[in-house]
Amino acid sequence: MIDDDIFLLLARGPMFLPLYAMVMFRISGLMIVAPVFGSQAVPVRIRVALAAAVALSVFPVVAPNLPTDLTIASGLAGVFGELVIGLVLGLATNIVFTGFQLAGMVIGQQAGLGLGQVFNPALNSNTTIVGQLFFIVALTAFVLMGGHRELMRALLDTFSTIPVMSYRTQPNILNLMIELLTMSMTTGLRLVAPVLMSLFIATIVLGFLSRTMPQLNILSVGFVVRILIALAMAGFALTAADGLFDSAFAEAIHKSREAFGL
């Protein structure tokens, strides 16, 4: 039955490419901003080819539910809706990565490493060395837990609940972004809190030393001490935060699925 519908769809000629493009737009939205898939380190041609290949594999399954008539107005509205689905799923996970990178940036700034900026191609932004370290650890945890597969699975599941060209933006998407931003900042704060407390205590101790031993060059000594303490506590925090990474990514994907009724 599905094969007959596909042949009928192909027989329409001009309708095949626009409808195939609608399927590809939904997948392309994920490829633009999602972690791993949307990294600037991945060439654009590879991302386009991957989106086209996934769309081609999905197309036979969704072909029976594709609309038979397509106008310019409905096509433009459909393109917007399809892109929103992919973009929301990608941004939902990317927000979590932003929280982890922000935690590393705060540590780098407080430790005196803020002047050493590096470019993060995955988020297309500049960050500190510690922020880049936190992002790489979070990305590794995301891949090891199969987050990239779950993200793609969530996108493919939307085709069964949201037919092509039928999605309209809903208020729950804004609520989803607010919840994920709150969760991301909270997770980042939980990760950075032990380091900031250690640096605060180190600052107090160095202040007492500067008052009791004026001959000590506290600026040069304190700079090195703060860096060593920050790096040691950051490593300890990352080691103890394996469950934090898993729960944050799992919650982000779960909330995204709920927002689309999956």
- Please compute the mean of the pLDDT values over residues 114-120 and round it to a whole number: 63
Look at residue 6 in the predicted model and tell me its pLDDT: 53
Q: What is the pLDDT of residues 90-109, one digit of tens each?
A: 888 888 888 888 888 888 77
3-state secondary structure of 36: coil
Structure tokens at 35: 């972690």
Q: Are 5 and 64 in contact (CB under 8 A)?
A: yes
Greater pLDDT, 116 or 35:
35
Greater pLDDT, 202 or 112:
202
- Whole-angstrom CA distances from 39 to 5, 185, 233 are 36, 22, 29
Residue 217 has pLDDT above 60, yes or no: yes
Instruction: Say how far apart CA 191 and CA 233 lie, in whole Å.
Output: 10
Question: What does the mean pLDDT of the chain come to?
Answer: 77
Residue 189 has pLDDT above 80, yes or no: yes
Q: What is the pLDDT of residues 141-163, one digit of tens each?
A: 888 888 888 888 888 888 888 87
The upper half-sphere exposure of residue 22, i.e. CA atoms within 13 Å in the direction of its Cβ, equals: 28
Query: Cα–Cα–Cα angle for 249, 252, 253, nearest 5°?
Result: 90
Domain count along the chain: 1
Q: According to DSSP H, which parts of 112-170 are helical?
A: 129-144, 147-161
With a pLDDT cut of 70, the percent of the chain lying above it is 82
Q: According to DSSP H, which parts of the chain are helical?
A: 2-11, 16-33, 44-62, 72-111, 129-144, 147-161, 171-212, 218-240, 242-259
Please give the model's pTM, rounded to 2 decimal places: 0.75
Q: Would you tell me how many other CB atoms lie within 10 Å of the CB of residue 220? A: 9
Is residue 6 exposed (0-12), middle (13-18) or buried (19+ Cβ within 10 Å)? middle
For residue 29, which of 71, 92, 72, 74 has the smallest C-alpha distance? 92
Look at residue 190 in the predicted model and tell me its pLDDT: 84
| Residues near 201 by beta carbon (within 8 Å), at least 6 away in sequence | none
Structural domain range at position 50: 2-259
Return the axis-axis angle of helices 16-33 and 72-111, rounded to nearest 10°: 10
Q: What is the pLDDT of residues 228-244, one digit of tens each?
A: 888 888 888 778 777 78
Q: Are 106 and 196 in contact (CB under 8 A)?
A: yes
